[in-house]
Structure 1
């Protein structure tokens, strides 16, 4: 059985690039727990808050429940659920899962395959990360679910991936004249830019193209906050800062909160700005909460 192909084809509700990472997050969490205890199982009532935190932190801004993937992942052949009454999920209702002592774990065939071929776990995890999340979030997401991946497990699974355009970084950084579009940071070591990255506005994992109209030159801090939904780009190419972000230090106020409603820096004349379609996708699928008003100077 090709577990990578099965992982790549998880059934998800999709429409117009809508993010639905419920099943991938549960599967990543289950892989992390398997790595810790290959014989263990996940009682819904015991892991519900962990799963809810993952969905809140790494899912889209709309409300959701971990009961949905806990029940529906069974249909993909990688997960099983049993209750105090026997095998089979009682349904996707939170009350049903709690009341029946619903417990889930990786499907028996998958557990056997992971025992036979230990490197398979890392390949499945990397595939889930590549298909559903931007690279800036991979390390912290692994930490959040308790996954430890070997360096050799970071290689791409080319059979299920389209190829990235390696020219994008240079094109985007050139368009923004090697300055962060949010704060203007332009650090270099000699002639080499340091701490500057080409960020996809519409994530590459969700068909975001490798071109300037879908890119921003951002410093490492603002790239991470952009992918986490703390920052966004609104109408008129003005910076959005989520009201959900809390920071009381002078640094947090200066480097994040004070950005609210500022115009982007760049791109240079003649370069294409971020397209409205990609900005709209990011606002709907990644940006969390309501945008702060401009801060008083």
Structure 2
């Protein structure tokens, strides 16, 4: 049984670039718990709030209950559920999962495979991360689910393998003249840019091409906030700031809230700006909630 293929298929039902990280988030959470307690179960009532926080922070804006992946992942051959009545999920009703003492864990076959081959856990986790989230969020997500990963081994499953174009970073940074498109930061040490990154607007994991019109030159801070849905791109290539973002310090106001409504810095004439379909995908699938009014700060 190819467990990497199983992990990759947790998201195959998605269509049209719609994000559905519910099962991958639960699976990553279960792998983190397995690292600490290979025999432990995840009682629904005990992990419900953890799963809600993960879905709120790393899922798309259209919310779902953690009961959905807890029940449905049993169909993927990597997860099993039991209740006070015996084996098998009682359904996706929150009330029923709570009332029946539902508890889940990795399937017996997968637990046995992870014991035989400890490196499999890291390969499965990296498959889930690479196929569902941008690299800027991998470290934070591992910390959130309690996963400690060794340096990567192996490759993605063959049907998920896709090579990134290593030229994209230089092309995007050149197009934006080595300045953050949101704040204009342009730091260097000598001739080497520092703290500047090429961000995918439509995530690479969801078919985003390695093209200039799917890229932004962003400083490290704004890249992270862009991938977390705090920042977005609106009509007229103006910066969106989510109303869900809260920050009272002068730094938060100046570096985030004051960006609302500001036009992007760049790209230079002759370079393609962010394509409308990529902007729309990010607005629908990543940006959190409603934009703030244009800042008067």
Length-normalised TM-score, structure 1: 0.98
Q: Which residue of 1 aligns with 2:52?
A: 52
Q: Which residue of 2 aligns with 1:203?
A: 203
1:121-177: CA deviation from partner (whole Å, max 9, x where unpaired): 000000000000000000000000000001245x64363320000000000000000
Question: Does the 8 Å CA contact 2:123/2:152 hold for their aligned counterparts?
Answer: no
Q: Which residue of 1 aligns with 2:284?
A: 284
Q: Which residue of 2 aligns with 1:32?
A: 32
3-state SS, counterpart of residue 217 of structure 1: strand
- Structure 1 residue 101 and structure 2 residue 73: aligned? no
Q: Which residue of 2 aligns with 1:157?
A: 156
Question: Does the 8 Å CA contact 2:232/2:239 hold for their aligned counterparts?
Answer: yes
Structure 1, unmatched stretches of 5+, are: none
CA drift of 1:9 comes to: 1.1
Q: Which residue of 2 aligns with 1:270?
A: 270
- CA RMSD in angstroms comes to 1.0
CA drift of 1:270 comes to: 0.2
- Structure 1 residue 246 and structure 2 residue 250: aligned? no
Question: Does the 8 Å CA contact 1:12/1:20 hold for their aligned counterparts?
Answer: no
Equivalent positions of 1:11-160 (< 5 A) are 13-153=13-153, 156-157=155-156, 159=158, 160=160
Distance 1:137 1:62 in 2: 19
Q: 1:219 to 1:101 in 2, by over 3 A?
A: same
CA drift of 1:12 comes to: 5.2
Distance 1:40 1:82 in 2: 13
3-state SS, counterpart of residue 9 of structure 1: helix
Structure 2, unmatched stretches of 5+, are: none
Corresponding residue pairs, total: 296
Q: Which runs of 4+ in 1 moved over 3 A?
A: none
CA drift of 1:15 comes to: 2.3
Question: Does the 8 Å CA contact 2:11/2:24 hold for their aligned counterparts?
Answer: no
3-state SS, counterpart of residue 20 of structure 1: coil
1:24-59: CA deviation from partner (whole Å, max 9, x where unpaired): 000000000000100100000100000000000000
Distance 2:53 2:162 in 1: 31
Distance 2:219 2:294 in 1: 21
Residue range with higher mean Cα deviation, 253-262 or 143-152: 143-152
Question: Does the 8 Å CA contact 1:61/1:288 hold for their aligned counterparts?
Answer: yes
CA drift of 1:14 comes to: 1.7
Distance 1:117 1:57 in 2: 31
Distance 1:296 1:152 in 2: 46
Length-normalised TM-score, structure 2: 0.98
Distance 1:38 1:234 in 2: 46
Question: Does the 8 Å CA contact 1:11/1:76 hold for their aligned counterparts?
Answer: no
